[in-house]
Amino acid sequence: MTTIATDKALVAHLLRRAGFGATFQEIDKFAEMGYEETVDYLLHPERVPDIDEDLLERYYIDWKESRNIEGALVETVYRFNARAGVRPMQEKIALFWHHVFATGLAKVLHEKTLLNQIDMFRDYGLGSYRDLLVHLAKDPAMIFWLDNNVNHKGAINENWGRELLELFSMGIGMDGKDNYTENDVQEVARAFTGWTMDDDNTASIPFGKTPWLFKFDADDHDYGEKTVLGETGNFTGEDVIDIIAKQPSTARFICRHLYNFFVADEVQVPSWRDTAPLDPEAIRIMEDAYFESNYDIRSILKVVFNSEFFKNARFQKVKSPAEVVCGTMHIVGSYKFPDQRFFEEALECRYMNQDLLNPPSVEGWHTGKEWIDSGSLVERINYVADELSDTTKPGVRAMVDNLLSRQSEFTPEGLIEGCLELLGYFELKDKTRSDLIELVYRAGEIRTDNPEDRMFAEQLMLRTLKMIGATREYQFA
Amino acid sequence: MTLQTIGNPPSVKGHYEYHSVIGALAGSGPGFSGPVSLDFGPDGNLYVASRGNPNQHEAVRVTRCTKDGEYLGQMPGWGEGEGEFIWITDIAFNAEGKLFATEEHTHRINVYDPTDFSFLYTFGEHGSGEGQLDRPSGIAFDSCNNVLVVDSLNNRVQQYSVDGKFLGQWGEFGDGEGQFNMPWDIFIDGDDNVFVTDWRNDRVQKLTRDGQVLMVFGGSGDGEGQFNRPTGIATDADGDIYVCDWMNDRVQVFDAQAKYKDTLIGHGGVSKWAQDYLDANPEIEHKLKLAEQNIEPKRRFYRPVSVKVDTDNKVYVADCYRHRVQIYQKV
């Protein structure tokens, strides 16, 4: 590729990871802005005007109030898609923390409360990890999900304390050693007694559901002395989070999560105690950024996105279903304005094995190749192929018009290269490429200088987009 | 108990008293599910359209009840076929007593016989040409029994004969007089003055039925006389104007010259239908009693979207997110 093409390919890579992909117009715009400037732009969504909430409320009256899991899922996907072109990182970081701090409606059964948790990730997900943990500990959906509302002084429930250490911060172990003891779990649980929730209105009748709120019950809090990770004192929940945040194991665990989500597929989380990171040097660089920035997620990601290990990790990740659906929606330009048909399409994530807001367990979803099974692969291919070949979609129309207006005659190779470029500088393996060339070659001459030929070229281009969407390579980001 | 016995608290300026409430969340039968429009039928009963829930198709319906909350029946109809609706937005009765309903998903107007909810005919199709519609919302009738429809995404009002023949149109996109930005509702008084809530311009325009501007009032904000996306609109026999100030969660009242007069904030108690539910679920009522200190905000309007005034000067407000109709009495 030329230098310009390389720059655009890198920007496309960045936008797939720090967002949900990009249209060819966006790739051009950000390539002109410059790579490092684009990183800054993406990491500061608060500087960009937000989407129009009034439209969401006007048309999705029922979903806004979210009285069921489908409504909540649809609202979440709507925001992913709507912000994909303006504040993609805000949505991507919300999706990331939803993976890490997986909380599910199967138990919570209060959609608006869980949606408030996702909003909290949007608001604080790029800031201090320490502060984020405090917000998480006060999040009523999490409190209910992990039973901290029944964690009482003198009668602890250790569920939240255990998962805080095991899944949300330190991980069970590092470099083959355990990170904490059973006593730490119980002492952490004591520190969070009294951190509960106000659930005065769970029923829809007579007033409609209202979100739960955090409540600190001082009478139920254990103010006694505790020993946590080798430190002793009359610790509160926030004191414990301060102790947790400064642990090297926390830096390792969070950086591995960030690496797994934004850079390249790692082994699954339960293996991290005994399996070294895929790229130990990258993790070391990220850990340094964690401590140097006082646990600031935005600073770590800035280091990541500007690193060579990130730039060299193109197509090293299997797309999650949310990335497949929202990324495709964004490229084809679907549903930038509310539409009833959006409801069914948003559920595609579920059909591809990612039921947003309803993860399989507190451990969240297994990622990488575990996203793929025969059923989900068929869903992915059918969905993407249908979308990419639908010229009623403005993004598809724009791609067709852009490529076919460039010249009056195309070789099969040229048509395929043009399609790959417009889709975000995708790359095909040699065998896939030669198979595609053969298929396009069989169709005959590709010309655009009279209406009949152009119509033929358009149909051929749509078939080509469809075939690219069905390739193994397209499943990677 | 405080939950039920809230009395008749006054409006902000004291020109109105809270009267009663009808409704509770229900996907079918007695109750509403995201009520978006209400009107009084020729039989003197109240009709309420519920926008519902995309995963609960039967919840999208028109409910009929007496004005004091006796449930009488419903018209379900979710679907894209003739006479069906998915995104029902406004309902209104014409002089002949036919029920008209706007449908934003299929961009058309459906007409029914309200006595048995039988479907009569439909008109409208998607587009921006004459007579075509793009998300029709408010609907009303002039003294000649012509139909005026807010064609919201085309930023105009279109006029049809009662059988759906295109007669004319006025309005275009913009923020000048006679221009609109996604208008929502329309109301026509007895003198054929037309009131349109100009939703994204946060204002109300009063016009003649052929679109000549008579008065414009409002502006963005949450102060007296300002709006945050006005939705439903109506006038009463005195000429007072009622505007659902949607995202400010209130209904503002103006006199006929558009001078600010009063604000309704919502005082919803427990309706008959809700009490039936609580009687069958005493543990819910017990929890509500325990949390009584938090109930006050839930009595307030939460996205009021439609308003009408009856001949007894009772003001009916569809309180969308709380699935109820709150009623005030003008004093």
Same domain, A102 and A209: yes
Give the whole-angstrom CA distance, residue A285 versus residue B122: 66
Q: Which pLDDT score is estimated for A98?
A: 98
B234 closest CA partner among B223, B226, B220, B244: B244
Do A206 and B277 count as a contact with CB atoms less than 8 A apart? yes
CA B283 – CA B289 distance, rounded (Å): 10
Q: CA distances (Å), A211 to each of A115, A197, A431, B32, in order?
A: 9, 10, 54, 20
d(CA A103, CA A105): 7
Note whether residue A353 is domain-resident.
no
Chain B residue closest in CA terms to A347: B55
- The alpha carbon of residue B52 is apart from the nearest alpha carbon of chain A, in Å, by 6
Share of chain A above pLDDT 90, in %: 85
**Looking at the partner chain, which of B24, B54, B302 has a beta carbon nearest the beta carbon of A206?**
B24
User: What ipTM did this prediction achieve?
Assistant: 0.88
DSSP secondary structure letters along A19-46 = SS---HHHHHHHHHH-HHHHHHHHH-GG
Q: What is the mean pLDDT of residues A294-303?
A: 98
Minimal-distance CA residue of chain B relative to A69 = B55
A142, part of any domain: yes
List the one residue out of B101, B23, B76 whose CA is nearest residue B317: B23
For residue B330, the surrounding DSSP H or E stretch is: strand B324-330
Kind and range of the H or E run holding A123? helix A111-124
Instruction: Count CA atoms within 13 Å of residue A301 on its CB side.
Output: 29
| Residue finishing a domain among A294, A311, A328 | A311
Asked whether A113 and A119 are in contact (CB, 8 A), the reply is: no
Residue A41 lies in a domain: yes
Evaluate whether residue A148 is within a structural domain: yes
- Token readout for B55 is 């995963």
Alpha carbon B252 to chain centroid, angstroms = 14
Q: Of A3-7, A217-221, B54-58, B181-185, which gets the smallest average pLDDT? A: A3-7
- B61 interfaces chain A, CB cutoff of 8 Å: no
Residue A24 within any structural domain of the chain: no
Neighbours of B17 (CB within 10 A): 15
Beginning with the edge strand found earlier in the chain, give each strand of the sheet holding B108-113 in spatial order: B88-93, B99-103, B108-113, B118-123
Contact B44, B15 (CB under 8 A): no
Q: Are residues A289 and A411 in the same domain?
A: no
Which H or E element spans position A145? helix A140-145
Question: Which residues in chain A are closer than 8 Å to B288, comparing Cβ atoms?
Answer: 200-201, 206
Chain B residues in contact with A54 (beta carbon < 8 A): 200, 229, 247
Contacts (Cβ under 8 Å, ≥6 apart) of B203: B216, B217, B218, B219, B227, B230
What distance in Å separates the CA atoms of residue B184 and residue B197, rounded to the nearest whole number?
Answer: 6
Residue A201: band (very low, low, confident or very high) from pLDDT cuts 50, 70, 90:
low
pLDDT in tens, A102-150: 999 999 988 889 999 999 999 999 999 999 999 999 999 999 999 999 9
Task: Return the DSSP state at A295.
Answer: S
Distance CA B324, CA A95 (A): 35
Residues 6+ apart with CB under 8 A from A119: A94
Residue A5 resides in a domain: no
| Among A202, A192, A197, A258, residue whose Cα is nearest residue A222 | A192
Please give the tally of structural domains in chain A.
Answer: 2
| Res. A237: pLDDT tops 50 | yes
Instruction: Tell me which of B25, B181, B249 to substitute to probe the interface with A (most A C-beta atoms closer than 10 Å).
Output: B25
| Calpha distance B121→B112 (Å, rounded) | 7
Structure confidence at residue B1 (pLDDT) = 43
| Per-residue pLDDT band at A276 (split at 50, 70, 90) | very high
User: What domain range is A53 assigned to?
Assistant: 34-311
Query: Of A311, A309, A308, A286, which is closest to residue A299 (Cα–Cα)?
Result: A286
**Shared domain check, A302 and A401:** no
pLDDT digits 0-9 by tens, A317-347: 999 999 999 999 999 998 888 888 888 888 9
Write out the DSSP string of B178-232. Answer: TEESS---EEE-TT--EEEEEGGGTEEEEE-TT--EEEEEE-BSSSTT-BSSEEE
Instruction: Say whether both A414 and A284 belong to one domain.
Output: no
Omega within 30 of 0 (cis) for the link into B35: no
Q: How far is CA A383 from CA A91, A356, A371, A477, B178, in A?
A: 22, 18, 15, 17, 44
Contacts of B299 in chain A (CB under 8 A): 207
Q: What Rg, from alpha-carbon coordinates, does chain B have?
A: 19
**CA–CA separation, B290 vs B322, rounded Å?**
20
A117 and A240 co-located in one domain: yes
Residue A210 to residue B287, Cβ atoms within 8 A: no
Mean pLDDT by 10 residues, chain B (331 residues): 71 97 93 96 98 85 97 93 94 97 97 97 97 98 97 98 97 98 98 98 97 98 98 98 98 98 95 91 79 80 97 97 96 96
Distance of alpha carbon A431 from alpha carbon A437, whole angstroms? 10
Give me the mean pLDDT over the A229-256 stretch.
Answer: 98
Looking at the domain assignment, is residue A277 inside a domain?
yes
Residue type, position A465, single letter: L
Domains detected in chain B? 16-330 (2.120.10.30)
* Partner A contacted by B78 (CB < 8 A): no
- Work out the end-to-end distance of chain A between its first and last CA atoms, rounded to an integer number of angstroms: 19
Write the CA distances from B54 to A62, A340, A344, B84, B321, integer angstroms.
8, 8, 9, 14, 15
Return d(Cα A116, Cα A114) in angstroms, integer.
5
pLDDT score of A57 = 86
Q: Which residues from A are below 8 Å from B when comparing CB atoms?
A: 54, 57-59, 61-65, 67-68, 70-71, 74, 198, 200-208, 210, 340, 343
* Tens-digit pLDDT profile for residues A160-171: 999 999 999 999
Q: CB-based burial of residue A194 (10 Å sphere; 0-12 exposed, 13-18 middle, 19+ buried)?
A: buried
> Which among A311, A337, A359 is the end of a domain?
A311
The answer to whether residue A377 sits within a structural domain is no
Q: How many Cβ atoms are within 10 Å of A452's Cβ, its own excluded?
A: 8
The pLDDT assigned to A197 comes to 92
Residue owning tokens 């090293």: A316
Given A293, A311, A329, which residue is the final one in a domain?
Answer: A311
The rounded distance, in Å, linking the Cα atoms of A88 and A81 is: 9
Q: Which residues of B touch A58 (CB under 8 A)?
A: 182, 184, 199, 229
The secondary structure of chain A in percent helix, strand, coil, rounded to multiples of 5, reads: 60, 5, 35
Instruction: Look over chain A and give the mean of its residue pLDDT values, rounded to a whole number.
Output: 94
